[in-house]
């Protein structure tokens, strides 16, 4: 029989109250507390806490607390990135962030989904799809990226946009739902 954790990692419907899943959530919550409580005058300690929390943190990447995630271990961030205050990464499925990515304050990357049908939703079933953000992307303040989305290299997403579907490389996208309004050279 497949465990709830295996179902979750495979992108299938699962229930999050499984003891194995709850243990992962608790591990991340402790590491997240350590990172969010870290001192600004101890950058090495802050980076160590971040590396304990996340799956991978590239050289020269900086995240400003507070930072929130589900598991942390499913998030990888390439080198030279920046994540501003109050980022929320619901990393039930993998979140892959490329090199030189700039993420504004209050950005949400949401891999989690729930059934539309009332019965399964009431029974606490959920699923997730990965998010991939290419190299040299800029997500403006308050951007929300939904499950299953890929954002191409060099793309800029304007503040407050809601990204519901893939965005190609080298565009400026705005709105809800986000749509390209300009091509970049």
Active site residues: 114
Q: Which two tokens stand for residue 36?
A: 């969010």
Q: Which two tokens stand for residue 85?
A: 């205050």
Q: How far apart are CA 178 and CA 170, in angstroms?
A: 14
CB 164 within 8 A of CB 177: yes
Going across the sheet that includes 102-103, the strands are 62-63, 82-83, 102-103, 138-139, 156-157, 171-174, 179-183
C-alpha closest to that of 35 among 58, 69, 74: 69
């Amino acid at each position: 029989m497949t465990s709830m954790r295996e179902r979750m990692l495979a992108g299938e419907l699962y229930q999050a109250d499984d003891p194995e899943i709850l243990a992962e959530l608790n591990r991340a919550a402790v590491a997240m507390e350590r990172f969010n409580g870290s001192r600004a005058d101890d950058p090495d300690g802050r980076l160590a806490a971040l590396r304990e929390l996340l799956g991978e943190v590239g050289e020269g990447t900086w995240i400003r607390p507070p930072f929130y995630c589900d598991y942390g271990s499913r998030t990888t961030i390439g080198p030279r990135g920046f994540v501003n205050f109050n980022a929320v990464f619901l990393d039930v499925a993998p979140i892959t962030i490329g090199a030189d990515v700039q993420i504004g304050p209050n950005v949400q990357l949401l891999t989690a989904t729930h059934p539309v049908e009332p019965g399964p939703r009431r029974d606490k079933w959920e699923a997730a799809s990965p998010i991939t953000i290419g190299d040299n992307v800029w997500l403006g303040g308050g951007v929300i990226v939904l499950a299953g989305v890929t954002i191409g290299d060099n793309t800029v997403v304007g503040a407050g946009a809601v990204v519901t579907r893939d965005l190609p490389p080298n565009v400026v996208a705005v709105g809800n739902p986000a749509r390209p309004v300009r091509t970049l050279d």
